[in-house]
Amino acid sequence: MKSVSYRSSRTKKVSNKGTPKLNAPAAGDNIGNGLRNKWPNTAKEMDDMLGVPGRNVPDGPKTPGRGKVVWEPNKNTKIIYEQHLYHRNAPDFHKKPHWHLDTPGNSHQRYLPGENIPGQTFRLK
Ligand SMILES: [Zn+2]
């Protein structure tokens, strides 16, 4: 299986003259002062950011390889990490690991590793 990294375009050096360098922080980068505000690449990094381990949800017969992990850091917030490799015709962002965020009035928002976490910064442990 070919290993594809969606981080590669982010870290690639851009040589075009006149084009600003891509220097946005990658997932997991420290943004200064020990704070982080990007969705991480792995469930383990989220454990570290929240300071509590996520709850592993076993794959079902129709969801092999989903690898779902759930965090509920407070009663209004639910964070899900998963991937849907079994949806063969789905776009990459669905088949690769991604995050969902449930907050009151905003259910099941979807984010990719490296995107900003809305309204949040986490102090690194
Ligand atoms: Zn999903």
pTM for the model stands at 0.71
Give the distance (Å) from ligand 1 centre to CA of residue 108: 8
Q: Using CA atoms in the order 119, 108, 114, 22, what is the torsion angle rounded to 10 degrees?
A: -80
Predicted local confidence at residue 83, as pLDDT: 97
Q: In the prediction, which pLDDT does 84 show?
A: 96
What is the amino acid identity at position 36? Answer: R
Q: Report in angstroms the alpha-carbon separations of 113 from 43, 56, 60, 75, 96.
A: 11, 19, 24, 24, 10
What's the pLDDT at 69? 98
Q: How far is the CA of 81 from the centre of ligand 1 (A)?
A: 7
Q: What is the pLDDT of residue 47?
A: 92
Average pLDDT, 10 consecutive residues per value, the chain (125 residues): 47 49 54 73 91 95 97 92 95 94 90 85 59
| 70 CA to centre of ligand 1 in angstroms | 12
Q: How far is the CA of 95 from the centre of ligand 1 (A)?
A: 8
